[in-house]
Structure 1
Amino acid sequence: MSSSETLPAATVHHIRDTCLCLAAQRAARALARRFDEALRPFGLTNGQFSLLVALNQAEPPPIGRLAPFLAMDPSTLTAAVKPLARRGLLRLIPDATDRRSRRVQITPEGVALLREAIPAWRAAHARLDSEIGPTTAEALRQGLAEIRPLPADGAA
């Protein structure tokens, strides 16, 4: 490929050095690997751990309400629920007011597994916080919380 068929190196470097999406993706992958490794002894990924934690509430949430909380679409969440349901860590139950809707409920086995996994999650977080410092960690949490999804219709 000739240089006329590629972007100028300065453009590539500018995008590499300034793109928030690229930086967030790279950081998300690095974080996911760290927490996947910490949670591996429990047979959980970081996403499964987060899903189980989100379900630890008195009233089981409907998939439609849980999906946006986890920044997932309902079909992706439904797919993520299936392996955890097969393991008996959660269950899908019909909504009492809308039989077409399903709610996701953590099981006692799911709660027990969370209790076992939380110390490993805390240790992984402590290592990360010591590496980047508590000020940076808090600034990251606050900055990331400011990023809101686009409306469902995609309009900005």
Structure 2
Amino acid sequence: MALTWDESYLGRVRSSVGDADTLLFVGARGVILDEQNRLCMIQRSDNHRWAIPAGAMELGESMEECAIREVWEETGLRATSLTPFSFHTALTYTNQFGHSYQQILMSFRIHTWEGELLRQTEESVDAGFFPLDALPGDKSPVVEETLADLASFEATGRLVLK
């Protein structure tokens, strides 16, 4: 069962320190490309932007477990085989609620999964698989960078570090 924001580790920390401080956001993202090379994307329920499934780690989780959980919570798909391809540590951003975070985020390429894609979950209002040359509009700014990182990893076999 998915935790609410208030129950999550990051939600509890944010509530404790308030809105003014920048927090470390440790999390993971899961990139799923189907057999037709279409990207799985969700339309987030909080800001309605299209994004790659991702989210914050909970205490006791590994980054791989976080990626598996976040993909499942946001898509209904359970990742069964995944490979890390990029690790970002330097991006600081402020979300629509005025909360600032420095991201420490691992991106995983999900090779196999089980289940059926859910179009709506508690965290998404829509979802689908989209051709890479026809991704939906109003997307998260990190989608293109994530796909570029994956292409770099696939070309070189080296983990992308930023």
Query: Please, what TM-score do these two structures have when normalized by structure 2?
Result: 0.23
Query: Please, what TM-score do these two structures have when normalized by structure 1?
Result: 0.24
* Bigger share in strand: 2
Q: Which has the larger radius of gyration?
A: 1
* Bigger share in helix: 1
Higher relative contact order (CA 8 A, sep 6+): 2
